[in-house]
Structure 1
């Protein structure tokens, strides 16, 4: 049995030393061996639309369908029963990650007998002009199961990691309100202080899929050009922690450049908010925000009257990088992404 990690990035060209998104930064911490295969899509490069998959809703939808089809094809070639599937997505590409999870819940990993039905589903159900209902998805899933000669066809996703999933104009999820029932665990880091596009939250099927709000704008949560890196590291650390708990394998030496955020990172300044989001009542907010509130109590105005604090032990996680007695520490704050770039 092995892990298969599929990453939908939203990179702008070739990321420089400090320009990698959190999805790319996490990916560079992972081992790539026979026990863990990695598939990566940059998310923004121009590509031809696959034959039979028209660009419904414009170029973004067509490109997204192509990326999802390529990720699915990678699974068809490499996945075997018992393998663990890990899916990552950042910003607008988080929609692609979620659509892949929904496709796996509906079709599992298809074989040649279901190929034509799969092509139909990619063209008709993934990022459609009109949202599909639960009944629509159930109907096509039953048909796929009959073609495969099985009663149940869905395949589980062991972990889904997302950073501030946003919806660009003309592009939306197939059915955003429907929970991802095949996703065993996951973490979605969401920006409190807004961005240019609306955020699309994940509806959990159970307590395994967490949505937690972090201080900062879109870039401060996703990483990438213009990010406040101390804040981005906090969101990266939280999603990484969930992936490790789910069984992802880190490469040798990953601890030397993994994020280890502390209180000073939580106090970092950032650019003024483009828009101020209205958080849901009883929003789950990362405990790093509590550190900032002690120094800047006026920030309470950004939060609902009542919040639930998540990840109270986030500061203690940095201790995993503390060296043994007699060893020199090897973690340098805010140069970790340079090390990640050099190691990739």
Structure 2
């Protein structure tokens, strides 16, 4: 039976329970059952730390994330792995993001469009696939490495509904 797969990626420095982003509100509202599975990435600095050193480290990561994109690859790859582990042909995929999370889902959508979705037993190649995608995105014109990689591993074409 086909299902909906919803990916929600939040921004940087939001606080759960205080000022919830619209992505977190959406995540909380969505039904989570066999017909619809949902992935939520809280972003950098969203889940609060209790201990002083943890808060300092979290704040430093938040600043790095805002200024340099620190952690973006991990965000994208986490969502990609989730999709690869749960996607079946006929499923509908929905991507939502706020702020930095919007950029994460944009990158995720481009990654899937260019290289396809690996099967769960191929996830050991995900680092190579993402490197090929980033190279193609930076080069702009030379997509040959990405296309060659996709032909070799047979990445699934996955339509993104939203």
Q: Please, what TM-score do these two structures have when normalized by structure 1?
A: 0.37
Q: Is it true that 1:93 corresponds to 2:98 in the alignment?
A: no
Partner of 1:253: none
Shift of 1:122: 2.4
Among 106, 115, 120, the residue aligned to 2:114: 106
> Is the alpha carbon distance of 1:149 and 1:31 closer, same or farther for their aligned partners in structure 2, counting shifts above 3 Å?
closer
Residues of 2 paired with 1:124 and 1:13: CA distance? 34
Which structure's residues are more often helix, by fraction?
2
Q: CA distance change for structure 1 residues 115 and 135 in 2, over 3 Å: closer, same or farther? A: farther
CA contact (8 A) 1:106 1:141 kept: yes
Secondary structure (helix, strand or coil) at the match of 1:4 reads strand
- In the TM superposition, what whole-angstrom CA distance separates every residue of 1:127-149 from its partner, at most 9, and x where no partner exists? x7x9524433x323422332135
CA distance in 1, matches of 2:147, 2:92: 24
Residue 158 of structure 2 corresponds to residue 155 of structure 1? yes
Equivalent residues in 2 for 1:104-183, closer than 5 Å: 104-111=112-119, 112-113=121-122, 115-116=124-125, 118-123=126-131, 125-126=133-134, 132-136=138-142, 138-149=143-154, 153-159=156-162
Q: Measure the CA separation in 1 of the matches of 2:95 and 2:149.
A: 23
Contact 1:86 1:157 in 2 (8 A): yes
Contact persistence 1:23–1:90 (CA under 8 A): yes
Q: CA deviation at 1:124?
A: 5.8
Question: Which runs of 5 or more structure 1 residues have no equivalent in the other structure?
Answer: 47-57, 160-344
Give the conservation status (yes or no) of the 8 Å contact 1:114–1:144.
Answer: no
2:37 pairs with 1:37: yes
SS in 2 for 1:135: coil
Instruction: Give the Cα–Cα distance (whole angstroms) in 1 for the partners of residues 157 and 140 of structure 2.
Output: 15
Alignment partner, residue 14 of structure 2: 12
Q: Where does residue 57 of structure 2 map in the other structure?
A: none
How many residues get paired? Answer: 141
**RCO greater where, 1 or 2, for CA within 8 Å and sep 6 or more?**
2
Question: Residues 40 and 97 from structure 1, CA distance in 2 versus in 1: closer, same or farther, beyond 3 angstroms?
Answer: same
Which sections of structure 2, spanning at least 5 residues, go unmatched? 47-63
Give matches, 1:147-226, under 5 Å.
147-149=152-154, 153-159=156-162
SS in 2 for 1:75: helix
Aligned-partner Cα distance in 1 for 2:38–2:14:
20
Partner-residue secondary structure (3-state), 1:156: coil
- Mapped pair 1:3 → 2:4: yes
Partner of 2:61: none
Where do 1:74-93 residues align within 5 Å? 74-93=82-101
Asked if structure 2 preserves the Cα contact closer than 8 Å seen for 1:106 and 1:140, the reply is no
Report the TM-score, using the length of structure 2 for normalisation: 0.73
Aligned CA RMSD, in angstroms, stands at 2.7
